[in-house]
Amino acid sequence: MNDFNLENILCFCYKIDMPEYMIKLIVKKFSLIDKGIVEKLYCDFFDYKKAEETYKKLQNYTDSIDNDKICELTILLYVAIKSYDYYKEKGIDKKIYLDTMKCFSRFVKETYNWTGKYTFDRGFWVWRQLCLALFRIGQLEFEIANVDKNIAKKLDIDQDSKVLYVHIPNDAICTTEELENSYNNAREFFKKYFNNDYLVLCSSWLLGKELESLIDCNGGIYNFRKDYEIFDYFESDDYLQWVFNKYSGDIKDFKEKTKLQKAIKIHLINGGKMTVGIGKLKK
């Protein structure tokens, strides 16, 4: 455990563009962490079957020493550093590794944008990146996961199937060319490193039914939507975070700075609903 030290973690922070203020908080809180606890936990993050439960154990520990989630983030960054050994073992390019791990910095910036506070609220999610189940390839993220049973039934596929779920980072450039590059490169990546040509699915507010009439036909959301055959919807308030940078509140009080914000606000004030769409990537 000699490599669990502040120097290694700070070096990694700069590689993934962590905000300077968060780096200062990591320095301030590092001494609170018990290296023995880290040593007991970190290896289980690399086992897909154990990773989620391991995160919960880590959370229980770090919540007992730090209310701001800085210690949790620090330990997860250490696990991210160690995960590179598994990338090298598979022969995966270092650029994909770093692009994937930049999620930590992106999440910190997103939460600051929503709350005005430097903290880390996505530990429940990043175990996927740490156990090599989720990768950023170009503009998009691709997660190897078990297919939902209801979706399997709708698509008439084996309920034990593994599929790729697409996630759209908030800094993704959704031009037709960039999206095509991501899908093509992902297909090659998963064939090469996982020996599989997975069915590609997406569950997102970007595929919501209402957006058909609320978006421009020459923008990024349109470019993303047109690649999917959307087969199901469910009501959701995901738009609060991703469109208005809010967790809750009255839509009438939300400021609108973009055409999309204005269109969605009018739609909701007039009694409309917002949904998440589930789609299958068109071949």
What does the pLDDT look like over 48-82, one tens digit per residue?
Answer: 999 999 999 999 999 999 999 999 999 999 999 99
What is the average pLDDT value for the chain, to the nearest integer?
96
> pLDDT tens, 158-210?
999 899 999 999 999 999 999 999 999 999 999 999 999 999 999 999 999 99
Closest C-alpha among 150, 145, 100 to residue 126:
100
Count Cβ atoms below 10 Å from residue 77 Cβ, excluding itself.
22
> Which CATH topology does 133-283 take?
Aminopeptidase (3.40.630)
pLDDT at 266 over 90: yes
271 confidence band (pLDDT: 50, 70, 90)? very high
pLDDT at 1 over 80: no
247 confidence band (pLDDT: 50, 70, 90)? confident
More confident residue, 99 or 246: 99
The 3 state secondary structure assigned to the chain is CCCCCHHHHHHHHHHCCCCHHHHHHHHHHHHHCCHHHHHHHHHHHHCHHHHHHHHHHHHHHHHCCCCCCHHHHHHHHHHHHHHHHHHHHHCCCHHHHHHHHCHHHHHHHHHHHHHCCCCCCCHHHHHHHHCCCEEEECCEEEEEEECCHHHHHHHCCCCCCEEEEEECCCCCCCCHHHHHHHHHHHHHHHHHHHCCCCCEEEEEHHHCHHHHHCCCCCCHHHHHHCCEEEEEEEECCCHHHHHHCCCCCCHHHCCCCCHHHHHHHHHHHCCCCCEEEEEEECC
Question: Where does CATH 3.40.630.120 sit in the chain?
Answer: 133-283
> pLDDT tens, 196-221?
999 999 999 999 999 999 998 889 99
β-pairing, 200-204 vs 162-167, is parallel
- In the chain, the amino acid numbered 110 is E
pTM summary value: 0.95
- In the chain, the amino acid numbered 223 is N
Model pLDDT, residue 62: 98
